[in-house]
Amino acid sequence: MLRAALFALLLMLPWGRSMAADDAAYHAMQALQDLLRSQTSIATYSMRVSTPDWQRSVRFQAWDDRPGKRFFIRIVDPAKDAGTGYLKLGGNLWMYLPKLERDIRIPSSMMLSSWMGSDFTNDDLVKSSSVLDDYTHRIIAHGTDDFTVESVPREDAPVVWGRLEHVIRNDGIPLSEAFFDEHGKQVRKLLFSEVKQLGGRMIPSHWTMQPLDEPGKKTELILEQVSFDAALDDNLFTRANLKRAGR
């Protein structure tokens, strides 16, 4: 109820004044982060990668500390990948490989590489918290039931996208996100669907990433269960724990 009231208020602001519109866009994006991630979360996901020739499924658990800009991921299935772990600390991303019994820091040159063979990238993991501060936001369109926020990188911001467009329902539920390169060409799109109650709130449980230059390819991320605002032990977000998780 409070979230719906917030978005109703945002939509009533005087859009003729750019400052008010920019503030409303920023707060809409902030509310979106609060909805999907809250301050902390513990979640279980399944992921399906599909192409015209093959399919792959992965299941993993994730611990997210949004204020601390850190998270921990542990792969559960399939068996050949079980124990593989990822640790984000600020702008650094570490990966643990059980077969090698070692962890490695993923270099900046690999940030746009596929994560676990999916259409999500390592950069998506590292920059999951940066959209609020690394971009400026403005509302560029209003529909009957939704509105569109355009996000443009700030000067010298360490981001890879030239522009983002977020379509958000008037009650705050995200519908889609479009990713554009520095030349203004749309590269991929993220669709949100299957809104259901999880973790005590109504959120989309099915996220589909589609690269536009590879017809028939997509990655579906299904949120199975989630707990928001749980206390997280600092020892969880350590390289020592990354190695323990693989044993």
Nearest 10 degrees: Cα torsion 107, 112, 117, 120:
120
Exposure string for 62-83, b = 16+ CB within 10 A, e = fewer: bbbbbebebbbbbbbeeeebeb
Q: What is the C-alpha separation between 113 and 13, in angstroms, rounded?
A: 41
Q: What is the C-alpha separation between 95 and 136, in angstroms, rounded?
A: 31
Q: What is the C-alpha separation between 110 and 93, in angstroms, rounded?
A: 10
Identify which of 34, 58, 64 has the alpha carbon closest to the alpha carbon of residue 45: 58
pLDDT above 70 for 226: yes
Residue 15's pLDDT band (cuts 50, 70, 90) = very low
Instruction: State the angle between helix axes of 2-11 and 18-36 in degrees (0 to 180), rounded to the nearest 10.
Output: 160
pLDDT above 90 for 185: yes
Q: What is the pLDDT of residue 210?
A: 97
Give the SS3 label for residue 146.
strand
Residue 99's pLDDT band (cuts 50, 70, 90) = confident
Structure tokens at 23: 């503030």
Contact 25, 149 (CB under 8 A): yes
226 φ, ψ (degrees, to nearest 5): -155, 145
The least confident of 15-24, 176-185, 221-230, 233-242 is: 15-24
Q: What is the C-alpha separation between 208 and 222, in angstroms, rounded?
A: 9
CA 66 to chain centroid, in Å, comes to 11
Q: What is the pLDDT of residue 14?
A: 45
pLDDT above 50 for 17: no
Q: Could you give the domains of the chain?
A: 2-245 (2.50.20.10)
Whole-structure pTM value: 0.88
Residue 156 region by backbone torsions, left for phi larger than 0, else alpha for psi between -120 and 50, else beta: left
Q: What is the C-alpha separation between 153 and 131, in angstroms, rounded?
A: 9
The least confident of 8-17, 28-37, 190-199, 229-238 is: 8-17
Q: What is the C-alpha separation between 4 and 169, in angstroms, rounded?
A: 10
Q: What is the pLDDT of residue 159?
A: 86
Nearest 10 degrees: Cα torsion 62, 45, 192, 199:
-70
Contact 6, 28 (CB under 8 A): no
